[in-house]
Structure 1
Amino acid sequence: MSKTRVSLVLLISIFSSAIIAQVKSVEQLESITVNGVERQWRIFIPSSYIKGKPTPLVLDFHGSGSAPDRQAMLSEFEQLAELEDFFVISPAAKYYRKKGEIVTWNVDLHEKCVDDVLFVRELLATIGQHYTIDPTRIYSTGFSGGARMSSRLACDLSNVIAAVGPVAGVRYPEDCNPSRPVPVITFHGKADKINHYKHQADSTAYWRMGVEEALSGWISTNQCTGSPALEAVSDSVIRVSYQNCQSEGDVVFYRSDDAGHTWPGSQLADDLEKVGLGKTNTEIPATKLIWEFFKMHPLQ
């Protein structure tokens, strides 16, 4: 393993341990069998839910080496879901690139491994058998490896996923071929030492392009025209918005000059910095911004 890879594994392992130590109780995960493999997820149901009422759903994917309960603490999407009346599903990864590496998502669709796109299809079908989900308001977000997984779903499940919100890991897979423009809101820091803002010689194998290159893929696919609108939202954060896009396929990017590999606005900002993942921009609440973007972008 390369020095960068070893550092990545160490940082994420320390972070995951720090977060799980704060979890008072881990809820029982739901499960189904997909291609002979048990797959699990955490579900949050808002107290206002009424059977028969179409209700939005947000998929919230954890990062590499993490787990659903830790992602719930990082993003705090469940607290917002209680206020805004939507489901949150936090799937559990079960893919290992190589023996001994940390668990992550099969974003590159490696054969003879777990099929995470199929898993999501069957998960949503299972949830739909028990709850009334609004089919025009199914969204996906996630952190790091979970951000890459959300990017993959925008490519492969564009007829199901209304919009995506990758945090610290937006991708545009080389084989991406969505059936429609998919709205994207994303966040990334230029000081990210895990998923580098610009591709570097020591970037990990899965990180084959920089953030701006990935965004260019979505801007082109969504047929966005004209120059983006730029807005300074803080001393170090710029909001870059492409809104003249086909079928309301807006692309919005919060670019931070000093943020590391973190979730903007997370209550875990101090923990992230202590384990070496860098500064968190606490002035921009990523979770709320993602949900506001999702609400404006139902499936077309």
Structure 2
Amino acid sequence: MRYLFCLLMLWVVSPTFGHAASSRCQLDVPCAIGDRSYHVKEPDGWDGASPLPVLIHFHGWQRTGALPVQHQRISGATRLRGVLLIAPNGLRKTWNMWSPETEDVQFAADVLKDVINRYPVDPDYIFVSGYSYGSIMAWRVACDRGEAMNIRALLGISGTLRLDEGCAEAPKEARHVHGLKDNVLDFPYGPEGDTTYPVKLWRDALGCSDMASTPEDWSVVEFLTLTRTSWSDCAGGAQVALDTHPGGHFIPHGWIGRQLDELLGRPPTYP
């Protein structure tokens, strides 16, 4: 928090310059950090001054940040909920995420620092997300810098780190969704077909017991039903949630929006 507070104070002393700089890099025009960059999508109707929740979303393999800021299931969710969407660009359209503290982890921290210099960020609502390889990258950032970056919640979609890995840090909350028939990044079943295994790493890191909630079905669109299992007895009030569905490798309709609604204390809506 001290790190974020100092960065926020830098923005406060020069808000006009920060917003003027940000206005030159949105959507297809990326914001540059040295020889790297990220894309931005501001929320609809933002007044240019109110503090913004932030979702940093990491793109999938062989994609760029230009896709998430125009993707209906990603930016379509953030722009309607007052959330600033940030989509970093991976080198060679991928991420270095299998080992701790790679250059991409530092890049993610640098992106957040740059965003805070450009925008009035609400430090209590910093989220990281990603799809496929981007989900693994989001897990890596949360695992290595969850506390340093004050990550309120991880929103992972169809991609996890190795579940026997230990994390130096953790987010305050972890949420993950995965299709049971995913044939790109297979659903990580546990021993004896345990379907709660995909979030074991976070249950361990956040000090959750083995007492899971009774699975509950929910849906946003009629043709896709998700089943949620959650752990709410974790240390320090942390929470972990896992949503599964019978489909494959995709971002479920309305999933990101539903998570943001719940995390922001908003009535769930679609889209």
Tell me how far apart the structure 1 counterparts of residues 67 and 156 of structure 2 sit (CA, whole Å).
17
CA distance in 2, matches of 1:110, 1:237: 32
Deviation at 1:195, TM superposition (A): 0.5
Deviation for aligned residue 1:30: 1.2
In 2: Cα distance, 1:260 partner to 1:182 partner: 28
Partner of 1:272: none
Where 1:146 maps in the other structure, the secondary structure is: helix
SS at match of 1:149: helix
1:137 aligns with 2:121: no
Conservation of the 8 A alpha-carbon contact between 2:129 and 2:138: yes
| AA aligned opposite 2:96 | N
- In the TM superposition, residue 47 of structure 1 has moved relative to its aligned partner by 4.4
Aligned length: 230
Alignment match, 1:32: 33
Among residues 193, 200, 218, which one is paired with 1:216 in the alignment? Answer: 200
Given the alignment of the two structures, is residue 152 of structure 1 paired with residue 137 of structure 2, yes or no?
no
User: Counterpart of 1:115 in structure 2: which amino acid?
Assistant: E
CA distance in 2, matches of 1:44, 1:82: 7
1:40-119 paired onto structure 2 within 5 Å: 40-74=37-71, 76-94=73-91, 103-109=93-99, 115-119=103-107
Unaligned runs of 5+ in 2: 1-26, 266-271
**1:163-200 Cα distance to aligned partner (Å, 9 max, x none):** 11001113356554244553111110111001111479
Aligned to 2:264: 295
* Offset of residue 220 of structure 1: 1.7
Write the distance in 2 (CA, Å) between the matches of 1:199 and 1:153: 23
Alignment of 1:177 onto 2:177: no
Q: Is the CA contact 1:228–1:240 (under 8 Å) kept in the aligned structure 2?
A: yes
Between stretches 152-161 and 165-174, larger displacement belongs to 165-174
> Aligned residue for 1:11?
none
Any idea what SS the aligned residue of 2:115 has?
A: helix
Partner of 1:168: 158
Question: Is 1:193 aligned to 2:183, yes or no?
Answer: yes
Q: Is the 8 A contact 2:44 2:80 kept in 1?
A: no
* Secondary structure of the structure 2 residue equivalent to 1:134: strand
Contact 2:129 2:157 in 1 (8 A): yes
Percent same amino acid at aligned positions?
Answer: 21
Cα distance change on mapping 1:237 and 1:53 into 2, 3 Å? closer
**Long gaps (5+) in structure 1:** 1-25, 96-102, 201-209, 266-284
Once residues 79 and 227 of structure 1 are traced to their aligned partners in structure 2, the CA distance between those partners, rounded to angstroms, is 31
SS of 2:79 mapped into structure 1: helix
Does 1:255 find its partner at 2:244?
yes
Find out whether 1:240 has 2:209 as its counterpart: no
SS state at 1:232 partner: strand
Cα distance in 2, alignment partners of residues 32 and 211 from structure 1: 40
Q: Which amino acid aligns with 2:259?
A: I
**Distance in 1 between the 2:186 and 2:227 partners?**
18
Q: In the alignment, what sits opposite 2:12?
A: none
Alignment partners' CA distance in 1, 2:96 and 2:72: 22
Flag the 1:227–1:128 CA change in 2: closer, same or farther, 3 A. closer
Rate the CA distance shift 1:174–1:194 in 2: closer, same or farther, 3 A: same
Of residues 113, 119, 122 in structure 1, which corresponds to 2:110?
122
TM-score between both structures, scaled by the size of structure 1: 0.69
Structure 1 residues 181 and 94: alpha-carbon distance in aligned structure 2, compared to 1, 3 A threshold: closer
